[in-house]
């Protein structure tokens, strides 16, 4: 078992793994995103209260869900880098940060666009929205902190600690609508019991969440490959792989 785990620390193995998976993952992601969007935007029924404006849920919720999950990916890579000093974990942590920041920005922007016609305001400083903005700053903070150091080993260590400390924000975002009075509504999808969203609207939403996860994995691999190409430009294994 440990042999499999150790393989993930080996840059040539991971590079080859990405090369093998991407040709499969890319078309699957594109098809899943297209199917989910068309299903959600054209075929799902309109909402009884909001009409068609609710359809932004098919972008907003998947982006927000994966923005939270992506933070754990980044923090976990940070932990591995901090404890086991695996260089590849630094690269993975750095690869996750810009993708997570983009997902968080999409969730914030689509939320504002939906908030104006629904609530009557683009932005409200309630617990959910504010904690989500903090998540965005954490992602951007990790990117900025890494660039701030000349010594990249020290930079990675500082980023790992920042991302570990930031994990406390994730359950706060998730539970904010239950713990405090907020304008943002509580979750419609429930893990236990029946969801507050009708099945005909829920299935395309679940499809989009899965698509957004696939897109995250795809972007992560592309990012990893690019970083590895930069880091190991002088290595024999990479040159052999690129010329082959």
Partner 1 sequence: MHPKRKQRLIVALVIVVLSSVTIGLITYALRGNINLFYSPSEVAAGEAPIDRQIRVGGMVVEGSVKRASDRLETRFDVTDFVHSVTVTYDGILPDLFAEGEGVVATGKLGANGAVTASEVLAKHDENYMPPEVAEALEKANAQGSMQ
Identity of the residue, 153 or 229, whose beta carbon is nearer to partner 1 in the bound complex: 153
Please state, in angstroms and rounded to a whole number, the distance separating the CA atoms of residues 66 and 77. 16
Please state, in angstroms and rounded to a whole number, the distance separating the CA atoms of residues 105 and 237. 37
Return residues touching partner 1 (CB under 8 A): 45-50, 54, 57, 79, 82-84, 117-121, 124-127, 161, 164-165, 167-169, 172, 179-183, 185-188, 196-198, 200-201
Please state, in angstroms and rounded to a whole number, the distance separating the CA atoms of residues 122 and 107. 13
Identity of the residue, 93 or 197, whose beta carbon is nearer to partner 1 in the bound complex: 197
Instruction: Sort 211 into a burial class: Cβ within 10 Å, 0-12 / 13-18 / 19+.
Output: buried
- Output phi, psi for 78, to 5 deg: -60, -40
Identity of the residue, 64 or 218, whose beta carbon is nearer to partner 1 in the bound complex: 64
- For residues 143 and 97, the answer to whether their CB atoms sit within 8 Å is yes
CB of 138 to partner 1, least distance (A): 12
Identity of the residue, 125 or 191, whose beta carbon is nearer to partner 1 in the bound complex: 125
Distances (CA, A) of 191 to 72, 177, 202: 19, 16, 13
CB of 121 to partner 1, least distance (A): 6
CB of 3 to partner 1, least distance (A): 17
CB of 220 to partner 1, least distance (A): 22
- For residues 232 and 238, the answer to whether their CB atoms sit within 8 Å is yes
CB of 97 to partner 1, least distance (A): 18
Instruction: Sort 24 into a burial class: Cβ within 10 Å, 0-12 / 13-18 / 19+.
Output: exposed
Identity of the residue, 194 or 234, whose beta carbon is nearer to partner 1 in the bound complex: 194
Tokens of 160: 């790992």
CB of 198 to partner 1, least distance (A): 4
Identity of the residue, 61 or 219, whose beta carbon is nearer to partner 1 in the bound complex: 61
């Amino acid at each position: 078992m440990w042999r499999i785990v150790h393989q993930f620390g080996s840059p040539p193995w991971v590079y080859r793994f990405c090369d093998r998976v991407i040709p499969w993952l890319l078309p699957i992601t594109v098809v899943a995103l297209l199917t989910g969007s068309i299903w959600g935007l054209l075929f799902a029924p309109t909402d009884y209260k909001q009409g068609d404006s609710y359809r932004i849920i098919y972008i907003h919720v998947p982006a927000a869900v994966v923005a939270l999950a992506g933070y754990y990916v980044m923090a976990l890579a940070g932990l591995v880098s901090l404890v086991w000093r695996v260089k590849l974990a630094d690269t993975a942590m750095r690869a996750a940060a810009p993708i997570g920041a983009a997902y968080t920005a999409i969730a914030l922007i689509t939320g504002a666009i939906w908030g104006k016609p629904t609530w009557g305001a683009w932005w409200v400083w309630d617990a959910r929205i504010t904690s989500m903005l903090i998540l965005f700053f954490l992602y951007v903070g990790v990117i900025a902190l890494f660039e701030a150091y000349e010594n990249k080993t020290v930079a990675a260590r500082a980023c790992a600690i920042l991302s570990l400390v930031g994990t406390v924000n994730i359950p706060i975002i998730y539970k904010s609508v239950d713990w405090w009075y907020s304008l943002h509504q509580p979750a419609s999808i429930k893990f236990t019991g029946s969801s507050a969203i009708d099945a005909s609207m829920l299935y395309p939403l679940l499809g989009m969440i899965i698509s957004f996860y696939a897109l995250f994995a795809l972007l992560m691999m592309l990012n990893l490959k690019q970083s590895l190409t930069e880091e190991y430009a002088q290595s024999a294994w990479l040159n052999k792989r690129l010329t082959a």
